[in-house]
Amino acid sequence: MSEQHSPRRPYLAPLTASWWLKHRYYRFYMLREATVLPLLFFCGCLIAGFYSLQQGEQSWLNWLSFMAQPWVMALNALTFAASLFHAKTFFELFPRVMPLLPAPLMIAGQWLGTIAVAALLLLLLGGVL
């Protein structure tokens, strides 16, 4: 029988753009990926900060007052929360990708490392602010 007369007519359901809304698991995944959006704003702030530092004192003071505005503080607080959430998911996935030690040990180690680096940065840069 030629292909033309085959009774086969497989039906492929189209995948809509809203596929990720259909399941809790996909929504969680998209939330994880979306944590990069507020981070983009923070990166912009940081780059602007470095630029203003190079431009001179007045520019730097302007940047500092910009950063102190409530909406900027709120957005950056959101960025911080989103980054912590992303870190949590990442740290939990990492032992599955590189199973070097028991997973709870690796997760604890990554958090300890994060705290150590954050403490070091605060110590080094704390005097500047």
Write out the residues near another protein by the rule CB under 8 A.
7-13, 15, 19-20, 22-23, 25-26, 29, 33, 93, 96-99
Rounded to the nearest 10 degrees, what angle do helices 70-97 and 36-55 cross at? 120
- Spatial contact of 37 and 81, defined as CB atoms under 8 Å apart: no
Rounded to 5°, angle at Cα 35 from 83 and 90: 60
- Spatial contact of 82 and 41, defined as CB atoms under 8 Å apart: no
CA trace torsion 24, 29, 33, 38 (10° rounding): 30
CB-nearer residue toward another protein: 24 or 57: 24
CB-nearer residue toward another protein: 13 or 125: 13
Least separation in angstroms between residue 114's CB and another protein is 20
Least separation in angstroms between residue 19's CB and another protein is 6
Least separation in angstroms between residue 20's CB and another protein is 7
CB-nearer residue toward another protein: 76 or 83: 83
Least separation in angstroms between residue 60's CB and another protein is 39
CB-nearer residue toward another protein: 70 or 96: 96
Q: Which of 119, 128, 122 is nearest to 64 (CA)?
A: 128
Rounded-to-integer distance, Cα 92 and Cα 110, Å = 9
